Amino acid sequence: MTDSAFDWMAAANKKAKGKRPEYFDDPEDERMLSILMAVAGEVSVLRERMDTVERLLETKGTISRDDIESYVPDKNAAYERGVMIREYIYRVMRGPHQMVEELKEAEPSLEELSKELREI
């Protein structure tokens, strides 16, 4: 057991030396995105844990925490779980992903279209 004087949770959060680049005008946005990304990661973790529980229950009926901790997916299950994570990432990242489409073609605003449709 780790010495109680050593707070590994605090230590895990240590900042890397070196000034952090600023990506947004408002520094609060940097913090908000870091929280959002961490939560996005944790939801993925919960989903994977749920998947483990479901797979174990399907084959064993009853399970223990040890079963969850020691679960190793076979090749097929590993792929299915990879697809599950990928699907989750695409859903969560819809906003930024749609920016890519916006970049492909500049679209007229709805206001402009509204004017256009009035005339045709």
Partner 1 sequence: MNDDQKLDVAPPYNAVARHGVSPNPSHDEIARFDFLANFNKFMASALGTGNQLAYDNRVLPKFKKEHGREPKDRFEIRRAMNEDPFHLFWSALKRNSMEMRQQNGRAIVLRQIDELNAKARQFNEGRDTLELNPEIEVPRYQSAVDIHCMPGSYHGEELPGDVSAGANYDCGIFATTGGGLGALTDGGGMALVEWIKKERPGWAPRRVLDIGCTVGHNIVPLALAFPDCEVVAIDTAAPILRYAHARAQSLGATNIQFIQASAEDLSRWDDGTFDWVQTTMFLHETSGKALPSILKEGYRVLADDGLMLHLEQPEYHDGMPLFEQFLRDWDAFNNNEPFWSSMHALDMKDEMISAGFDRDELFETGVRAVVDREIFPENATGEGEDHGRAAFWHAYGAWKNASAIQEAAE
Out of 4, 14, 28, 118, name the contact with partner 1 by CB under 8 A.
14
Out of 24, 27, 60, 114, name the contact with partner 1 by CB under 8 A.
24
* Tokens 């995105």 belong to residue: 33
Nearest distance in Å: CB 35, partner 1:
10
Residue 18 or 61 with smaller CB distance to partner 1: 18
The verdict on 31 binding partner 1 (CB under 8 A) reads no
The verdict on 59 binding partner 1 (CB under 8 A) reads no
Nearest distance in Å: CB 100, partner 1:
4
What is the C-alpha to C-alpha distance for residues 57 and 113, in angstroms, rounded to an integer?
A: 55
Terminal-to-terminal C-alpha distance of the chain: 76
What is the C-alpha to C-alpha distance for residues 49 and 71, in angstroms, rounded to an integer?
A: 10
The verdict on 41 binding partner 1 (CB under 8 A) reads yes
Evaluated on CA atoms 46, 48, 53, 54, the torsion sign reads: positive
Out of 3, 26, 28, 119, name the contact with partner 1 by CB under 8 A.
3
What is the C-alpha to C-alpha distance for residues 67 and 58, in angstroms, rounded to an integer?
A: 13
Indicate the angle between helix axes 75-92 and 94-104, nearest 10 degrees.
70
Out of 26, 28, 54, 69, name the contact with partner 1 by CB under 8 A.
69
